[in-house]
C-alpha cells in the first residue's frame, strides 16, 4: 500500500534501521526492488528523478509504481520525487500521486547555481506548506553535495554545480541545519558530508578526511526528530566494476561509500539512503556478461532477466545490511 515517507521513516527511527531509497526508471528496476523487498520483508522507497520522468514519461512512472502497489499490496511503499528543483516540480509530482517530494533548494531552479540560504528556506517552506496539507512528506537539502578530494561540487549527473567550493560549503553546518528545520518544518533533511552522485566519488577507499560520517552525529544531536538523508550513497562494489571491465567495459578505478560507513551513519541517525549507481553498475555488468557469452541471442527478455536479477541482488543486500529485514 502507498504510505507517506514520514510513516516509514518514523518506524525506521523508532527501530534504529535505515531504508535504502532506490531510483527507478523502468519496469525491470521496479520489479527488482519489489522482488528484493518481498523476499526479505522490507518496506520500499521508490524514487523518480526528473530524468526518470523524462526517460519513461510521467504516466509510465506513475503506473509502474501503481503496478508495484497492486502486485505487492502487503508491502508499505513510498513514491518519492527525487531532487525536485522548484516548488512547481514538487506540485507536479504531488498531482501525479507521489506521497513524498524532495525540494532541493541547495541549488537554484537552474540546477547549477549555488542558492543562498534564504532562497533555500523560502522554497522549502513553500513546498512544506502545500505538501503537508495533503499528507505528503517533504525532504529538503542543506549544503551542497560534492567531493572533499577535489573541493568541487557535484554536477556529473546533471543536477549539481561544478564550482570550486570551500570545505564549509561541502559540509552541512549543524547550527544552520537546526535553524533550517525550525524555519521550514520539513520531515527529512539531506545533508552534505562528502558524498557525491555517480560512480566517481573517491579515488581511494574513503577515510574521515574525505567522508565526514562524524558530522552526522552533531547534526542528529541538534535535530533528534528530523530524519536524516544521505544522497550519493552507492558503494560502487569493486566486483561489479571488474565484471563490467572484464566484458568490454572501460570504467576507471573508483570507490564508493563503504557499507560499514553507511551502517555507522544509520547508528548516528540517517534513515534514508539514496542508491542509484549500484543498480546501474549491476545491470550493466550483467548485460555485458550475458551478451558477451551469448553473442547469438537477441530476445531482449533474455538479457534483461540477468540484469533484473543482478539489480535484485544489490537491493536485497542493502535491505539486509541496513536492517530492513522483517520491518515491513
Ligand atoms: O540524484 C541522482 C540520481 O542518481 C538520479 O539520476 O538524474 O540521472 O536520473 P538521474
Ligand atoms: P548514487 O549515485 O550514489 O547512487 O546516489 C543516488 C542519489 O543520491 C539519488 O538522489
Ligand atoms: Na544538491
Ligand atoms: Zn541525490
Best residue among 25, 155, 189, 231 to mutate for probing ligand 2, ranked by most atoms within 8 Å of CB: 231
* Beta carbons of 5 and 137 less than 8 angstroms apart: yes
Establish whether 105 is an annotated binding residue.
no
pLDDT score for 160: 79
> Of these residues, 10, 82, 129, 173, which one is catalytic?
82
DSSP, residue by residue, 114-151: BPPHHHHHHHHHHHHHHHHTTT-EEEEEES--B-TTT-
245 annotated as ligand-binding: no
pLDDT of residue 193: 97
In the block, which residue shows the cell 527507478? 24
Q: Determine which helix (DSSP H) or strand (DSSP E) holds 22, and give its type and residue range.
A: strand 19-23
Sign of torsion over alpha carbons 212, 213, 214, 217: positive
What the chain holds in terms of domains, given with CATH numbers, is 5-321 (3.20.20.70)
Return d(Cα 117, Cα 260) in angstroms, integer.
32
User: Which protein residue's CA is at the shortest distance from atom 3 of ligand 1?
Assistant: 276
Helix (H) or strand (E) holding 81: strand 77-84
Active site residue 82: yes
Verdict on whether the full-model pTM lies above 0.90: yes
> To test ligand 1's pocket by mutation, which of 22, 25, 49 has the most ligand atoms within 8 angstroms of CB?
49
What are the start-end ranges of the E strands in the chain?
19-23, 44-48, 77-84, 100-103, 137-142, 188-191, 227-230, 270-275
Per-residue pLDDT tens for 163-193?
888 888 899 999 999 999 999 999 999 999 9
CA 185 to chain CA centroid, Å, is: 21
Residues of the chain with confidence (pLDDT) below 70: 156-159
Point out the ligand 2 atom lying closest to the alpha carbon of residue 83: 10
Question: Alpha-carbon distance 213 to 160, whole Å?
Answer: 21
Round to whole Å and give the CA distance between 200 and 261: 17
For position 28, what pLDDT does the model report? 98
Task: Quote the pLDDT of residue 298.
Answer: 98
Dist. CA 184 → ligand 2 center (Å): 24
Cβ neighbours for 85, distance < 8 A, ≥ 6 positions apart: 50, 104, 107, 109, 111, 159
CA distance 131 to 136: 5
Of ligand 2's atoms, which has the minimum distance to the CA of residue 145? Answer: 8
Three cell numbers at 78?
A: 513510498
Give dist(CA 212, CA 147) in Å, integer: 11
Predicted-complex ipTM score? 0.95
Q: What is the pLDDT of residue 156?
A: 66
**Whose Cα sits closest to atom 5 in ligand 1?**
49
Q: How far apart are CA 235 and CA 224, in angstroms?
A: 26
Q: Which ligand has its closest atom nearest to the C-alpha of 153?
A: 3
For residue 103, report the distance from its CA to the centre of ligand 3, in Å: 10
pLDDT for 81 equals 98
85 within ligand 1 shell (Cβ under 6 A): no
Q: Which of 274, 280, 281 to mutate to test the pocket of ligand 2 (most atoms within 8 A of CB)?
A: 274
| Grid cell 527529512 in the structure block, residue | 188
Locus of grid cell 544531536: 221
**Ligand showing the shortest atom-to-Cα distance for residue 25:** 1
pLDDT of residue 168: 84
Amino acid at each position: 500500500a502507498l504510505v507517506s515517507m514520514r510513516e516509514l521513516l518514523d518506524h525506521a527511527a523508532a527501530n534504529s534501521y535505515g531504508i535504502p531509497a532506490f531510483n527507478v526508471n523502468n519496469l525491470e528496476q521496479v520489479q527488482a526492488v519489489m522482488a528484493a523487498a518481498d523476499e526479505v520483508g522490507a518496506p520500499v522507497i521508490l524514487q523518480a528523478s526528473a530524468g526518470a520522468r523524462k526517460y519513461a514519461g510521467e504516466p509510465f512512472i506513475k503506473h509502474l509504481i501503481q503496478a508495484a502497489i497492486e502486485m505487492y499490496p502487503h508491502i508499505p511503499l513510498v513514491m518519492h520525487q527525487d531532487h525536485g528543483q522548484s516548488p512547481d516540480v514538487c506540485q507536479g509530482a504531488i498531482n501525479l500521486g507521489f506521497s513524498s517530494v524532495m525540494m532541493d533548494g541547495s541549488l537554484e531552479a537552474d540546477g547549477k547555481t549555488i542558492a543562498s540560504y534564504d532562497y533555500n528556506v523560502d522554497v522549502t517552506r513553500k513546498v512544506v506548506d502545500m505538501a503537508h496539507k495533503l499528507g505528503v512528506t517533504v525532504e529538503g537539502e542543506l549544503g551542497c553535495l560534492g567531493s572533499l578530494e577535489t573541493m568541487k561540487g557535484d554536477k556529473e549527473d546533471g543536477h549539481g554545480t561544478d564550482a570550486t567550493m570551500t570545505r564549509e560549503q561541502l559540509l552541512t553546518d549543524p547550527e544552520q541545519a537546526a535553524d533550517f528545520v525550525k524555519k521550514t518544518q520539513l520531515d527529512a533533511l539531506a545533508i552534505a558530508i562528502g558524498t557525491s552522485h555517480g560512480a566517481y566519488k573517491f579515488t581511494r577507499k574513503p577515510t574521515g578526511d574525505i567522508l565526514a560520517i562524524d558530522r552526522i552525529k552533531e547534526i542528529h544531536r541538534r535535530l533528534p526528530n528530523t530524519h536524516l538523508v544521505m544522497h550519493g550513497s552507492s558503494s560502487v562494489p569493486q566486483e561489479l566494476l571488474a565484471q563490467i571491465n572484464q566484458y568490454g567495459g572501460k570504467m576507471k578505478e573508483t570507490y564508493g561509500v563503504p557499507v560499514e560507513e553507511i551502517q555507522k551513519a544509520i547508528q548516528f541517525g540517517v534513515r534514508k539512503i539514496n542508491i542509484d549507481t549500484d543498480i546501474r553498475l549491476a545491470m550493466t555488468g550483467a548485460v555485458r556478461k550475458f551478451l558477451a557469452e551469448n553473442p547469438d541471442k537477441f530476445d531482449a527478455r533474455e538479457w534483461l532477466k540477468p540484469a533484473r536479477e543482478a539489480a535484485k541482488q544489490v537491493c536485497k543486500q542493502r535491505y539486509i545490511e541496513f536492517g530492513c529485514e522483517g520491518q515491513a
